[in-house]
Amino acid sequence: MKKNPKNRVVIFDTTLRDGEQCPGASMGLREKLEVARQLARLKVDIIEAGFPIASPGDFEAVRAVAEEVRGPIIAGLARCLEKDIVRAAESVEPAGERGRIHVFLATSAIHRQYKLRKAKEEIVKQAAAGVRMAKHYVDDVQFSPEDASRTEPEFLAEVCRAAIAEGATTINIPDTVGYAVPDEFGALIGYLQEHVEGIDDVTVHVHCHNDLGLAVANSLAAVKNGARGIECTINGLGERAGNCSLEEVVMAMRTRRDFYALSTGIKTREIFRASRLVSQLTGMVVQRNKAIVGANAFAHESGIHQDGMLKERTTYEIMQPEDVGISGTELVLGKHSGHHAFSNHLHKLGFRLNPEELSKAYDSFIALADKKKTIYDDDLVALIQQQMTEAPPIYTLQYLHVSTGSETVPTATVRLQRNEEVFQDAACGDGPVDAALKTIDRICSMRGRLLDFTLQAITKGQDAMGEVSVRVDFGDHVVNGKASSTDIVEAAAKAYLNCINRHLADQGMTPSPQKTRTRKKKAPAKK
């Protein structure tokens, strides 16, 4: 495999694999495909699409990305086990020469002793065998010694030598638990450059976690010491405190090219769009003061800063918002816009809908246009996001009315439809949202425990769309859901109902034909 130019850093995006492992950030197949397409527009070099052996859903997602997304290399993760490698090979097969198998095996003393219970010699043999087996299926094989930053450098070098000898084309050095600090991690990469035979013939990647808030700093220290690939995620999503943030590490190298003398192939004007899409599809809100893509990233409130900006923007701005695709959200469509204009604009936003989905989205757009005077791109993205639910609409919200106030007991009346049967009920609660959710529980004869509730305004203005993300525990099953509306109580009810539908679908319940029947469900005496 041809090695990258000396000053070119490969961007390996693992939003769909490690990013999705972030608690509360799971995505369905359709959502993963939309993110993968945006990553292709962003011009990432490699998309790690998932861990195929983990579940049938993960396998399906990796294979779908391999079939439909053009441009980047498509990687599937596998342990150094035959069943994992075979499954990964099947999943990336549609990508052809762009298919990669990423095998990994823990190497640190603590993992050898407590997790694997294997000696060093066994680890070296298993790593070599894993790479050798993967090479039977694809030419492009990546090897990762898990928990490399806590592995003895001499042994780490030995394992890397074995993987390269068996044909690995990429060696990835993970800081799996975010333990490393920049000087130490940079020195480790330098050590491997000097002590691993054949390392000049492969690409060295790093995969840093953010447990100490050092993922970006560690990644930059690594490339300064010879690494030429960075594994990262959009918005820094990932397990625990997350991964190296793609937008931060890319813009750091771009802005400080004078120091790093390195470049990437990233189309930076797609960064903000990617950040916004991932945030909305996962329900993981980007903090306002986050570097590069946060709402305050290019805001200047101080009078001294504002005065300097007016005289010369570079006094307080080291990069321009346009560099990352922030140019202001503009009015694009109105309620008199036709199907063609609507479809054309969605295409520009990167969405591909079939005729049925387009018709449904257009109806939702017209309904929203009757409520909002100004329609923004973010409003449209929110509408499309709601079309991407994987769960069948077992229950649909037909009507919602809430009564609340400082001197009033909050009460909600809800009407749901399942197939052709309509149920209506009412309940009181500690606030309008609680009342609505309790009413839904009564109608569906369920009791979900709300673990997390997040509300954010998608667009600006008093009539902004509000997006609600919820995490609900149904006893033995935790489900994430989200929905948006100009009415935050309605958004909350729809998000919660989305969780119920997903839970019921996972339990095997699907809509079945019934005769038309309308009735009010009799509520129990106590909830």
Same domain assignment for residues 119 and 37: yes
Evaluate whether 421 touches 517 at the Cβ level (below 8 Å). Answer: yes
Do 133 and 48 reside in the same domain of the chain? yes
Does a structural domain hold residue 334?
Answer: no
Residue 512 CA from chain centroid, whole number: 33
Q: Residues 111, 123: contact at Cβ < 8 Å?
A: no
**Residue 169, domain extent:** 10-282
306 with 377, same domain? no
Whether residues 241 and 310 fall in one domain:
no
| Structural domain contains residue 331 | no
Q: How far apart are CA 165 and CA 129, in angstroms?
A: 11
Residues 6+ apart with CB under 8 A from 64: 29, 32, 33
Say if CB 168 and CB 202 are below 8 A apart.
yes
Whether residue 371 sits in one domain with residue 504: no
- Block residue for tokens 């409520």: 371
Structural domain count, the chain: 4
**pTM strictly above 0.85:** no
In a domain, 83, yes or no: yes
H/E segment holding residue 175: strand 170-175
DSSP 362-426: HHHHHHHHHH-S-B-HHHHHHHHHGGG--S--SSEEEEEEEEEETTEEEEEEEEEEETTEEEEEE
Residues 100 and 166 in one domain: yes
C-alpha 153 chain-centroid distance: 33
d(CA 418, CA 398): 10
Contacts 24+ apart (CB under 8 A), 90-97: 90/52, 90/59, 90/63, 91/49, 91/50, 91/52, 91/59, 91/62, 91/63, 91/66, 92/49, 92/62, 92/63, 92/66, 92/138, 93/63, 93/66, 94/63, 94/66, 94/67, 95/66, 95/67, 97/139, 97/140
Residue 2, in any domain of the structure: no
- In degrees and rounded to multiples of 5, residue 397 shows phi and psi of -80, 120
* Residue 332 located in a structural domain: no
CATH at residue 35: 3.20.20.70
Q: Is residue 454 part of a domain?
A: yes
Same domain? 218 vs 169: yes
The 3-state DSSP class for residue 156 equals: helix
The answer to whether the beta carbons of residues 419 and 394 sit under 8 Å apart is no
**What is the rounded distance in angstroms from the CA atom of residue 501 to the CA atom of residue 509?**
9
| Strand locations in 80-123 (E) | 99-106
Closest by alpha carbon to 246, among 235, 254, 256? 235
Does 96 lie in the same domain as 198?
Answer: yes
How long a stretch of residues is the chain?
Answer: 527
Q: Name, in order, each residue with C-beta under 8 angstroms of 30's C-beta and a sequence gap of 6 or more.
A: 388, 390
| Single-letter amino acid code for the residue at 219 | S
Digit-by-digit pLDDT tens for the chain (527 residues) are 445 668 999 999 999 999 988 876 778 898 999 999 999 999 999 999 999 999 999 999 999 999 999 999 999 999 999 999 999 999 999 999 999 999 999 999 999 999 999 999 999 999 999 999 999 999 999 999 999 999 999 999 999 999 999 999 999 999 999 999 999 999 999 999 999 999 999 999 999 999 999 999 999 999 999 999 999 999 999 999 999 999 999 999 999 999 999 999 999 999 999 998 998 888 788 888 999 999 888 764 445 444 554 566 677 678 989 999 987 555 567 777 788 888 888 887 778 888 888 888 888 888 888 887 677 777 887 788 777 655 568 999 999 999 999 889 999 999 999 988 999 999 999 999 999 999 999 999 988 999 989 888 777 677 778 888 888 999 888 888 888 888 999 999 999 998 999 889 878 776 544 333 344 544 444 43
In this structure, the answer to whether residues 318 and 175 fall within a common structural domain is no
Residue 198 lies in a domain: yes
Co-location of 58 and 172 in the same domain: yes
Residues 52 and 130 in one domain: yes
Residues 378 and 461 in one domain: no
- The burial class, CB within 10 Å (0-12 / 13-18 / 19+), for 121 is exposed
- Which of 421, 438, 430 lies closest to 512 in space, CA to CA? 421
Q: Judge whether 267 lies within some domain.
A: yes
